[in-house]
Structure 1
Amino acid sequence: RLDPQLHSPMYIFLSHLSFLDLCYTTTTVPQMLVNMGSSSKTISYSGCTVQYAIFHWLGCTECIILAAMALDRYVAICEPLRYTIIMHRPLCQQLVAVAWLSGFGNSLVQVVLTVQLPFCGRQVLNNFFCEVPAMIKLSCTDTAVNDTTLAVLVAFFVLVPLALILLSYGFIVRAVFRIQSSKGRHKAFGTCSSHLVVVSLFYLPAIYMYLQPPSSYSQEQGKFISLFYSIITPTLNPFIYTLRNKDVKGAFRRLLARIWRFCI
């Protein structure tokens, strides 16, 4: 925020994505570390509820943020002369607000339905952290309503943003191949490569986890796959964007130079 070169629309989305990644890891990792160092791997029911409520809020929000970033890249490459007019700051802030509010609404529905489920016998959660599919598996009653609602919400908040991302990149690819110079094509693809890597790392495990039929859901597989979009992807995202972004690296060097001058 201190560097004027990072005030473009893309960096508005990137700042929120970075905040989401930070929240992702702080929601799950501390409890996982406590359990790894303890023989009694327990979490309270209220703590578990808070964990999966925040987790699903963040997950849905990130899906929409990634779709907004794809829209930003589409406008930047396909409508470069109108980029600053179309992707103005109020629009970016509205898209971000829609993402956070949609994520909260999704989480609220999931929590309300899940807390009504009765749990019988040993309440052993075969997962690294609390998540709605794993919680549904613990219930000793009919979970058809929960399974259907989960599938509908995931289809809306995962597949719809993913479809928008793919559609945006379809137009981007068509526009890039119209560029005459190979250097121009390389530069255009370079601006999108980091986003595509992040989308792949986040969406592929999430789709496998949430869109398979409940009858074929395996908790043993699910708990390892969930590590990708809950810990691995949020940890890698800053490196993926920073290492391939000259503006971010330049701003970081200027920040270090300011700190050095201040210290001496």
Structure 2
Amino acid sequence: MELNKIQEQAISLVKEAGNFIRKEALKFSLDKVEKKGFNDLVSYVDKQAEIMLVEGLANILPEAGFIAEEGTSDKKGEKYNWIIDPVDGTTNFVHGLPVYSVSVALQENDETIAGIVYEINRDECFHAIKGGEAFMNDEIIQVTQNTELSESLLATGFPYYDFDKMESYFAILKDLMQNSHGLRRLGSAAVDLAYVACGRFEGFFEYNLNAWDVAGGAFIVQQAGGKVSTFSGSSDFNFGREIVAGSPKVQQEMLSYIQKRWDNK
């Protein structure tokens, strides 16, 4: 398998889907929104973008299966699988807030070997492959080096359902607010992770996430020299429903605060 060639073709396809989403945003209105569940929004834009991605990626790597947010394909591959979020930040998209992205990752035997996050409105494509550097467009990127938590800007997300752990989460927010330059909530986990990879944020944490939200961005953070784990410190962040990512020192400091407060029940 020529991973470089596959990545090139996948980036081109992701940008094509991103261009479609950008054009649709100009004429989109809230009356076109559907609800999958409480506060879980979707539109024809998500669905059509996912169809474009699944069809295109199937041509690029026919033996691969898919883990896709909107369920366009439930075919799992024996060795290779694409993990796809056609619009990460759908709530932002439907309200006209310009922070949303396309996120794609490729796994081989459950190990991520390629990641792409395309931030549509800034036309910034973050990408990496196994054994290579991390890039934003054609520029090599790295996580912030040798930074203390006290000098860091952090990102997080807020749950839109399953509020049972809010008290412990609020305690974590308070601790990290008081021990950093501040917290930001952009509304797209994939973008948050991409911004960690290029040093705009020093760290990111969130819970109630799915693999399609984080797989591409988390891999790019790792290839950019960062560290990623669950709140407990395990490596099952793609399917573990929670994530802490950052430059190595900051990620460890964040974990220490999170583990003091987090309710694991």
Normalization by structure 2: what TM-score? 0.28
Max Rg structure:
1
Higher helix share: 1
* Higher-RCO chain (CA-CA 8 Å, sequence separation at least 6): 1
Normalization by structure 1: what TM-score? 0.28
